[in-house]
């Protein structure tokens, strides 16, 4: 006969602590709230929307995410233009029941990689003009010089740090349910669709390279979450078709030349709402 129906896990009611970088904080999305101001936290970022969706009282929610954060800033203070953000993990207590973690992109240097790819494309174009030849994927060539995949090495190193952080979260808040939040798709699978937005800023073959590396980053986060007994919240899937090269009405991530007042290559308010929806769906099970 059929076994007993498993008892559903109740949705956590807090206390909830949100940890993470600028993709969590909501860089430049109004209204900017909290201290230090250099963390650029938005009052409508996904942690705030998750807390609202769970009807948490103000004292049951702490958002300590900070723009520019790396894994090291979870265990030590982070200096910002507006003062120091205390070690993010210090917000955790034995009473904490819900934790979201969005980190790893800065450890892998993803924003710097995009900048480097644009620079390499420009250098390659100049070399082509003077007859030195131009590689189809100058950025991929740059990051694989010497026969080593430098970005994979960065992602692997970030993975080890994320694994350590997840162990520490479990130690400090053993009864908390932990959700590792992935990154949204920055670019579409078809690089040609980016030409109207990016023009010749990055070589088409290098756009494919960036897509590949972001998938590796999200894959690492999923693996580390599962190994630590945490839940991975996939954002790449839901964000397909809402990348920086989608139209202004459709995109969840701003392009290098963003809408007025927003941060380039970062989620906009619609992106934060979409991430909140994905997190709430995972939390409610």
Q: How many residues does the chain have?
A: 285
Residue 111 falls inside a structural domain: yes
Residue 15 falls inside a structural domain: no
Q: Are 65 and 45 in contact (CB under 8 A)?
A: yes
What sign has the CA pseudo-torsion 260, 262, 264, 265? negative
Token pair, residue 80, equals 């910002």
The CA-based dihedral angle spanning residues 128, 132, 133, 139, taken in that order and rounded to the nearest 10 degrees: -80
Q: What domain count does the chain have?
A: 1
Residue 264 has pLDDT above 50, yes or no: yes
Residue 1 has pLDDT above 80, yes or no: no
- Give the CA angle between residues 229, 111, 133 to the nearest 5°: 125
pLDDT of residue 3: 59
* CA separation for the pair 95, 98 (Å, rounded): 9
Q: pLDDT tens digits, residue range 236-248?
A: 999 999 999 998 9
* CA separation for the pair 21, 282 (Å, rounded): 20
The band of 125, judged by pLDDT with boundaries at 50, 70 and 90, is very low
* CA separation for the pair 148, 214 (Å, rounded): 18
Per the listing, tokens 């894959």 go with 219
Residue 14 falls inside a structural domain: no
Residue 3 falls inside a structural domain: no
* CA separation for the pair 196, 255 (Å, rounded): 11
* CA separation for the pair 270, 253 (Å, rounded): 9
Residue 213 falls inside a structural domain: yes
Residue-range definition of the domain harbouring residue 99: 44-59+95-284
pLDDT of residue 208: 81
Q: What percent of the chain has pLDDT over 70?
A: 90
Q: Are 236 and 189 in contact (CB under 8 A)?
A: no
The band of 274, judged by pLDDT with boundaries at 50, 70 and 90, is very high
pLDDT of residue 108: 86
Q: Are 43 and 272 in contact (CB under 8 A)?
A: no
Cite the active site residues. Answer: 22, 266
* CA separation for the pair 128, 74 (Å, rounded): 45
Residue 121 falls inside a structural domain: yes
Residue 115 has pLDDT above 60, yes or no: yes
Residue 146, domain CATH: 3.40.50.1110
Residue 13 falls inside a structural domain: no
Residue 34 falls inside a structural domain: no
Average pLDDT, the chain: 88
Q: What share of the chain is helix, strand, coil (3-state, %, to 5)?
A: 45, 10, 45
Q: pLDDT tens digits, residue range 68-96?
A: 999 999 999 999 999 999 999 999 999 99
pTM of the full predicted structure? 0.89
Strand duo 177-181 + 98-102: pairing: parallel
Q: pLDDT tens digits, residue range 22-59?
A: 999 999 999 999 999 999 999 999 999 999 999 999 89
Residue predicted with more confidence, 155 or 143: 155
Q: Give residue 265's region: left, alpha or beta (phi > 0; psi -120 to 50).
A: left
């Amino acid at each position: 006969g059929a076994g007993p129906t498993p008892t559903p896990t109740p949705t956590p009611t807090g206390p909830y602590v949100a940890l993470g970088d600028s993709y969590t904080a909501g860089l430049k999305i109004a209204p900017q709230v909290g201290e230090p101001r250099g963390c650029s936290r938005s009052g409508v970022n996904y942690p705030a929307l998750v807390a609202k969706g769970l009807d948490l009282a103000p004292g049951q929610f702490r958002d300590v995410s900070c723009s520019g954060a790396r894994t090291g800033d979870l265990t030590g203070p982070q200096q910002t233009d507006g003062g120091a953000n205390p070690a993010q993990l210090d917000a955790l207590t034995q009473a904490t029941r819900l934790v979201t973690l969005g980190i790893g992109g800065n450890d892998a240097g993803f924003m710097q990689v995009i900048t480097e790819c644009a620079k390499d494309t420009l250098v390659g174009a100049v070399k082509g003009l003077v007859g030195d030849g131009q590689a189809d994927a100058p950025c991929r060539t740059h990051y694989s010089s010497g026969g080593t995949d430098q970005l994979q090495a960065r992602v692997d190193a970030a993975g080890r740090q994320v694994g350590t952080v997840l162990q520490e979260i479990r130690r400090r808040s053993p009864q908390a349910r932990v959700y590792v939040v992935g990154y949204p798709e920055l670019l579409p699978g078809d690089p040609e669709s980016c030409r109207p937005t990016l023009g010749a800023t990055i070589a088409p073959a290098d756009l494919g390279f960036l897509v590949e590396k972001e998938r590796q980053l999200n894959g690492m986060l999923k693996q580390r979450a599962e190994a630590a007994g945490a839940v991975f919240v996939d954002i790449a899937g839901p964000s397909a078709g809402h990348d920086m090269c989608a139209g202004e009405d459709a995109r969840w991530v701003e392009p290098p030349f963003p809408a007025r007042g927003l941060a380039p290559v970062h989620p906009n308010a619609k992106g934060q709402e979409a991430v909140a929806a994905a997190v709430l769906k995972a939390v409610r099970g």
